[in-house]
Amino acid sequence: METVMIVDDEKNYPPILSAILEEEGFETLTANSGREALDILKHADVDLVLTDMKMPSMDGIELLEHIKTDDQELPVIMMTAHGTVDKAVEAMQKGAYSYVLKPFDNERLVLYVNKAIAMYRVVKENRRLRDAVESQYSFGNIIGKSKAMHDVFETIRKVAPVNATVLIEGASGTGKELVAKSIHFNGPRRDEPFVAVNCSALAESLLESELFGHEKGAFTGAIAMKKGRFELAKGGTLFLDEIGELSPNLQIKLLRVLQEKAFERVGGVKPVTVDIRIVAATNKILKDEMQKGRFREDLFYRLNVVHIVLPLLKQRLEDIRLLTGHFIKKYAGEHNSTKPLTGINQEVERLFHDYNWPGNVRELENVIERAMVLCQGSQITVEGLPKEFKNSVYNTLHIEGIPADAQLDETLAMIEKKMLQRALKLTNNVQSQAAELLGVGKSGLNWKIKKFKLNTGSKH
């Protein structure tokens, strides 16, 4: 049963409206001011707000603005007298669903309420489905429905409850630290520290002190004993990012810690025992580094108890729609956006599928955040993409071999054929998906396939 909140400072209207709407099967809540209404909305599940326009302290438009800041899609119907119709129009421009004139016709009011409730019912169902999809295709903040990501999720689920050392390999921007955190926070050490250190960020002497700590007087400037990251991670997880950058000397010291569960601080002689889990990550292929003599074989096998390889974004293009939805939702909250962004338009989706994504998921996230700041409509468009991104895409998409004197019809036919071939390749010849990607009907796609005599493998 849906709930309608009625907001009016006139004492007679709320009980009358409540009686009308309750007879129609709705639950009702009443408030005598905008402030009271906002207090109710903090705790009550409301499906429609029916508010008077003219109220002291906070009028209907100000109340509308507050409501839309918290829930862009919650419908609001304004009640107004003839003399304030202009204000009602202003309210419509600011997101009100509709307005009714006082004194109003009961049947018309009920009609408006039913339409608004029906619309919001669809919105809530879409939210429920979206949340269900995100829950199905995510692990923590890692998003994906591709086979490659499904395999990653399964490995995380299996390894998180045990204490095995994990090695994560993947290019920059693929989410190695997110995976490390998912392993930690889904395991028995979740209530203990998660400590991260980038092994490529410091010189060897500084990194040694950062990892193992130092004793007072160990070197110039060591005016007091300092604990290192191994000690700070006591009982929890130490995440060693870019492990492939460790010097030979530090590789030996790390191997000893893994073998003996103990180390000495720089300048110290007393062993310090540690109980931590090690998760390491690298953007290098450590087997190659090992064969070239740059990474110790014994250390590699100590680290590589469980091995996770993260795919490039261009290897999981089917995840782009999920990822863009996730980032839009994330940055709508961070930037306090009131724009009803629903996603990316079809042109941007095609460009995203054709782009090489050298920066992987991190680059996609940056592109989405930038576009959300610049785009004014309900969808992210090409105009909101970085110039260098667009240039790269269009360089990728440019069609070679068109002579200067080419005729328009034959040129368009060539472009159309290449777009068809590209769409079929991207969708593995699944014609229904190719038709959706191109924005055409399936029958139209079939006709074009026959027109250009394309070999599709007959997948539907």
Closest CA to 112 of 133, 135, 88: 88
d(CA 45, CA 124): 12
Instruction: Give tens-digit pLDDT for 389-422.
Output: 666 655 554 444 555 455 667 777 878 888 888 8
DSSP per residue over 146-215, as a string?
SHHHHHHHHHHHHHTTS---EEEE--TTS-HHHHHHHHHHTSTTTTS-EEEEETTSS-HHHHHHHHH-B-
pLDDT value of position 291? 93
Look at phi and psi of residue 203 and say left if phi exceeds 0, alpha if psi is from -120 to 50, else beta. Answer: beta
d(CA 86, CA 263): 76
pLDDT value of position 85? 72
Which percentage of the chain shows pLDDT scores above 70? 89
pLDDT value of position 428? 80
Closest CA to 325 of 119, 68, 75, 138: 138
Per the prediction, the chain carries an average pLDDT of 86
Q: How many CB atoms lie within 10 A of CB 232?
A: 14
Contact between 88 and 78 (Cβ < 8 Å): yes
Which percentage of the chain shows pLDDT scores above 90? 45
HSE-up of residue 374 (Cα within 13 Å, Cβ side)? 14
Tokens of 64: 């509308």
Instruction: Give tens-digit pLDDT for 424-440.
Output: 887 888 888 888 888 88
pLDDT value of position 312? 95
Q: Residue 183: is its pLDDT beyond 50?
A: yes
Q: Residue 359: is its pLDDT beyond 50?
A: yes
Vertex 62, ends 59 and 65: CA angle to 5°?
150
Instruction: Give tens-digit pLDDT for 308-318.
Output: 999 999 999 88
DSSP 83: G
